[in-house]
Amino acid sequence: MILDGKSPSGPLAEKWDRRRQELKLVNPANKRKYKIIVVGTGLAGASAAATLGELGYNIEAFCYQDSPRRGHSIAAQGGINAAKNYPNDGDSIYRLFYDTIKSGDFRSREANVYRLAQVSNNIIDQCVAQGVPFARDYAGYLDNRSFGGAQVSRTFYARGQTGQQLLLGAYSALSRQIRAGTVKLYPRSEMLDIVIVNNEAKGIIVRDLVTGRIESFAGDAVCLCTGGFANVFYLSTNAMGSNVTAAYRAYKKGAYFANPCYTQIHPTCIPVSGDHQSKLTLMSESLRNDGRVWVPLKKGDTRAVKDIPENERDYYLERKYPSFGNLAPRDISSRSAKEVCDEGRGIGASGRGVYLDFADSIQRLGEDTIRERYGNLFEMYERITGENAYRQPMRIYPAPHYTMGGLWVDYNLQSNIPGLFVLGEANFSDHGANRLGASALMQGLADGYFIIPYTIADYLARTEPGNITTEHEEFGHSREKIASLTDKLLSIKGDKTVTRFHYELGRIMWDYVGMSRSEKGLNTALEKIPALRAEFWKNVRVTGQGHELNQELEKAGRVADFLEFGELMARDALERNESCGGHFREEYQSLDGEATRDDQNFSHVAAWEYKGADNAPEMHKEPLEFENVELAVRSYK
């Protein structure tokens, strides 16, 4: 089946304006008749709920945290892109659009990416008006810095806390609507199923994480804003609670899952220190503005940093990619780090690390300047490692970070299920096979503040408000299914913990579906994952009861979904016989080790349809057409 992304016709720069003129509107009096369910209250969810509430809709917002302020968006450090061209260095909306398309290795939809670049400037204005404390230069103007994959400085930032500050801005807008009564917030509530009535999304089933009670909520439309699935690797930069459950259960109800194999490995993370770890820590990509990445020239060189002279150091990113140097894109920088470590030139006890060195910048700019730019990041690094990065280089290594794959949506952010809209990292739409640095925050806020208010109105204008309630039989069926799953998990009483199963799945995923993939490795993963899943359902031990606070039960449901979803990821990676962006197949690379695309056969979105537990999923394709950019070899040299 060929999917239609429903992009507007006409010139690229006019598509969004054209679509907004085509969309139906809901008048202010009628908005009060509609209820919209928003699942997730990170940047995408909080901005969507606040904006839709301001418009007059009745919003019910759900998060599994105790407060929207704890959404994982707070963990974003380095900045948010916008094409304002304040430094006057040649930036433009088109250049941001092109950098995003190129960074995604020409595997994203042109119209969506251009719209993202268009609304980027509005986001900065919105956030400044909310009081977000962006960094400013000596004259008081908003400051910018560079990020990987770009040769201009377009990234707005608040030291190393940009995500946190942006989320506080969205949270303040959300809190205002909660006070006004247009938004009702349900914290400590986890969505466990979506309810489909007559092929339309009409509600959700949630578990109250404090009492264990399973509850139903009906609405006229549902917005999923539930983030990414990098925790399928067990160790990642994501919060430990981040999961795939909401999106995956929507997939099992008929929503297509697009490009699940597209995962981003971030190059600047604190290396793994041992099997005891439960997560990894991101060090902002912004550090690569002033830090130089290097390893020793000699294999097995274990000398202290001060004993390795300059002529015996390999600044490999500067050597391989002179045009971009240390600001090469994330996927390329990550693979380059793996490459030198595989050669035996990695640093640290494990040999899985490279240096990020600030000595030159401190000498050139002074320690005070570096401290002003990155002080909280250096402090965080020292707290975790016990090392002072002002005196010696940071040790970094790539780790799972962001996921470009997600539920398939059209240009209106609507999935193939009418009434189910998907925003932010939970959808697949804007980043292709590799996300441009500092664009996650941009996409989440663009979707929530400036896109969904228009597009969801078009759907609601064609929908009778309140025609489905929780008394409908589909809600009863969903509640019964969730209750049965809970009872099953609690009744197994095996010998192995949920965390152990998650750890073992993560090792399979990292070894065979991680930074480097091969046909042999992916087939191995497709053998090992079903075997591990079968063992899970026979031997997992979930302590506690269902009708109480039970974090082991929460984890068990999420890991059960990861054990199915990991197989879908591996299948998608196996079907894509090319290398593109973060999807690197060892069989498809150039003589110098660069990714080799196959535009003739794989210039499409792969969207998977669930066909039942015992059947292989069916792949649908959305052809990607490039009318405004020329497909080219992606080079940063």
The active-site residue, picked from 330, 479, 571, 634, is 330
Q: How many CB atoms lie within 10 A of CB 417?
A: 20
d(CA 444, CA 454): 15
Beta bridge partners of 517: 585
Residue with tokens 């010139």, as numbered in its chain: 11
DSSP 570-582: HHHHHH--S-BTT
Query: Tokens in use for 446?
Result: 């663009």
AA letter at 131 = G
Are 346 and 353 in contact by the 8 Å Cβ rule? The answer is yes
Are 497 and 535 in contact by the 8 Å Cβ rule? The answer is no
Characterise 407 by phi-psi region: left (phi > 0), alpha (psi -120 to 50), beta (else).
Answer: beta
Strand stretches in 344-422, DSSP E: 354-357, 394-403, 406-407, 420-422
Are 228 and 398 in contact by the 8 Å Cβ rule? The answer is no
Buried b (16+ CB within 10 A) or exposed e, 318-335: eebbeebbbbbbbbbbbb
378 SS3 class: helix
Are 378 and 283 in contact by the 8 Å Cβ rule? The answer is no
Query: Tokens in use for 250?
Result: 């929507």
Are 624 and 109 in contact by the 8 Å Cβ rule? The answer is yes
502 SS3 class: helix
- Phi, psi (degrees; rounded to nearest 5) at 527: -90, -40
- Is residue 330 annotated as a catalytic residue, yes or no? yes
**Closest C-alpha to 513, from 427, 451, 572:** 572
d(CA 39, CA 46): 9
Q: Which sign, positive or negative, has the C-alpha torsion 586, 590, 595, 601?
A: negative
**Closest C-alpha to 321, from 148, 99, 139, 170:** 148
Residue with tokens 């498809």, as numbered in its chain: 588
Beta bridge partners of 607: 258, 620
Alpha carbon 101 to its chain centroid, in Å, reads 17
d(CA 335, CA 364): 29
Helix axes 245-252, 551-575, angle to 10 degrees: 60
Q: Which sign, positive or negative, has the C-alpha torsion 405, 407, 411, 412?
A: negative
d(CA 620, CA 545): 41
d(CA 226, CA 40): 5
Beta bridge partners of 201: 196
Active-site positions? 330
